[in-house]
Amino acid sequence: MKKIKTLICLFLGSALTACAAGDTSIPDTPVEHLYSQGHDYFSQKDYEEAARHFDEVERQHPYSIWAPRAQIMTAYSFYQADKYDDAILALDRFIQLHPGNRNIAYAYYLKGLCYFEQMSDVSREQKMTEDALETFKELLYRFPNSIYVPDVNVKLKEIASHLAGKEMSVGRYYLKNKEYLPALNRFQSVLIEHPHANQSSEALYRLASCYTALGMLPQAIQMQSLLTYYYPKSPWTLKTKQMIQKYTKEK
């Protein structure tokens, strides 16, 4: 009996605590008013509360014309709050449910931005950079005439340089440790996969360095020719020329 009384007291105590804390759920509200509340919170930069209200629009009024735009605003609110994973989940849901919506291109664009904002330093794993690349490429494929294309193209160049930087970092490590074949693979991948990246001229120089170290002088000279043609004023072009001259003199 004593144990039962104790359990009842514990239950009542927890119930009273819950009542004191207050019910945080949003009561059923007309859709226009609910959406307006979300917009007000967004204007006040209370993005998490805005996301909660926009999400509630879909929950309470799933078949209203307000539901699709509320989904987009939920994702955008999460994006502004730096809650990128939540934003991506909301955008994936929107893309799945509303493939023909007028805001579908924006959904892909915002999803790409979520990955883009999470790109890490080139010394670290580049999963987010690769996801940003794939999302933006899909946007360009599906909506080649959208208003987001110019900005996406700018970001794709930055992504290419980022991924090329990762390859260069690994390649330099192999080259430093005289592991020339894996170094060659890394530097070649920069030129093949990211030919317009900022690191292209250095990649050619590093390739010439690998070929020279392996005694493959014709290939090294070919790298010098490419540098001279495409990057005549680059310091990497001069360094390659000096390196090959030194190698030839010593031999």
Give tens-digit pLDDT for 52-71: 999 999 888 988 999 999 99
- The first and second tokens of residue 127, run together, are 């999963």
Q: To the nearest whole percent, how much of the chain has pLDDT over 90?
A: 78
> Which tokens sit at 226?
């490419």
Res. 5 pLDDT band, cuts 50 70 90: very low
Q: Which CATH number fits domain 175-250: 1.10.1200.10, 3.60.9.10, 1.25.40.10, 3.20.20.70?
A: 1.25.40.10
pLDDT attached to residue 120: 85
The per-residue pLDDT for 24 is 59
Q: What is the percent of the chain with per-residue pLDDT over 70, rounded to a whole number?
A: 90
CATH 3.20.20.70 holds for 31-161 = no
Query: Using one digit for the tens of pLDDT, what is the confidence trace for 79-94?
Result: 999 999 999 999 999 9
Average pLDDT rounded to a whole number, residues 113-138: 92
CATH 1.25.40.10 placement within the chain: 31-161, 175-250
Arithmetic mean of pLDDT, 138-158: 96
- What pLDDT is attached to residue 222? 97
pTM value?
0.80
Quick check: helix, strand or coil at residue 46? coil
pLDDT on residue 207: 98
Q: Does residue 186 surpass a pLDDT of 90?
A: yes
Under the banding of pLDDT at 50, 70 and 90, the label for residue 195 is confident
pLDDT classification of 104: cutoffs 50, 70, 90: very high
